A = this chain, B = another copy of it.
Amino acid sequence: MSATAPVTGPEQLAAVLDAAGPGLRRMIDRAERRLEEVAASEGAALAQHTTSTLAAGGKRLRPMVVFLCAGEAESDALVGAGAAVELLHMATLVHDDVLDRAELRRGRPTVYAAAGTGAATATGDLLFSRAFAELAATGSPEAVRALSEASSALARGELMQREDAWSASVSPARYLERCELKTARLFEAACRLGALLGTPGAGGADALAAFGSGIGVAFQILDDVLDVAGPPERTGKPRGTDLLDGTVTLPLILARERDPELAALDLKPEVRTPAAAAALCDRIAATGALDDSRSEALRHVAAAKKELQRLELDKRQRTALELVADGVVDRYG
């Protein structure tokens, strides 16, 4: 597996930062420093696991969404909220890597690979705990509630995914419900936290939350498209990893609707090797299911952007949020 490229390209991030103005850059830098402080506060050996997870970086898309939804506000509470959503996100990644026995993430060894199941489970728990500690420090019970609801939804989505593993009867509606739970609720919470702790009147919390939910669903669909489409040298992982672990995603569901032979296939015994998974990816792509899945993602982006029209936003804020929405589906064109 090669070193991974960031999922959202640097060019999109630069466009958002340009549109939003210097306040966003300042807030992202503060959140980054806060994450470093959290890692450093955890003492020797475990700081190492936490730090490697934090340092593996990523695009800090969720904190960015918090700050964009907060308007012009720049407070410690907002920095804490941005750090909290990122900590929760990282907690789920660390646990996912245990479950998937993943050796690398973004080109670095996972906590699981470096330190084993026990240390990785505990590190994830620690990141969870620290996420809530950050929000407790904001003094807002509503903020804690927003994150705990997202966190419960994430776990429910994870359970749903495992329950549906290898199932031939997952409907598009059920798939979308899982995207909602597993991914969209945390984006929704990021938007709510921004609205809650940001400039009063910066935006209606419900419309912003709906915006977050829409881009979250689109984000997950595109992730699932990239798992089939690759290319591996851009996504940083082989094609078909979802197929190998039985995760039924929209491209497969739509391909089965279009290819009766594929629909009749029992995938569990058929897809056991990376080569078999890659061959199945080609077969899914041949049905046109990837384009249809992308279109579904675009519909969610369009719906999300429509929510923004209900709000009186400052022009820079609106433009930056629209760029974020476009960015989640404009990964590798």
- Mark A residues whose CB is within 8 Å of B: 42-43, 45-46, 49, 91-92, 95, 98-99, 115-119, 121-126, 128-130, 132-133, 135-142, 144-145, 147-149, 151-152, 154-156, 158-160, 162-163
Contact = CB atoms under 8 A, between A and B. Distances in A.
B136 A151 contact: no
Given A119-B159, A121-B95, A163-B45, A151 B132 contact: yes
In the complex, the 3 A-B pairs of residues with the closest C-beta atoms, listed nearest first? A126-B155, A129-B151, A136-B144
A149 B133 contact: yes
Contacts of A126: 152, 155-156, 159
16 contacts: A43-B156, A49-B159, A92-B125, A115-B162, A119-B163, A122-B162, A125-B154, A126-B156, A126-B159, A128-B129, A128-B151, A129-B155, A132-B132, A132-B147, A135-B144, A141-B144
Nearest to A95: B121
Given A125-B128, A137-B145, A42 B156 contact: yes
Contacts of A160: 45-46
Given A130-B148, A149-B133, A125 B158 contact: yes
A125 B45 contact: no
B141 A125 contact: no
A128 B127 CA distance: 12
Tell me the number of copies of this protein: 2
B117 A99 contact: yes
B45 A123 contact: no
A138 B145 CA distance: 10
A106 to B, nearest CB: 21
Contacts of A137: 141, 145
A155 B138 CA distance: 23
B136 A152 contact: no
A159 B46 contact: yes
A173 to B, nearest CB: 15
Nearest to A132: B148
A114 to B, nearest CB: 13
A158 B138 CA distance: 28
A154 B155 CA distance: 20
Nearest to A116: B162
A135 B145 CA distance: 9
A45 B163 CA distance: 8
A159 B123 contact: yes
Contacts of A132: 132, 144, 147-148, 151
Given A136-B141, A141-B144, A125 B155 contact: yes
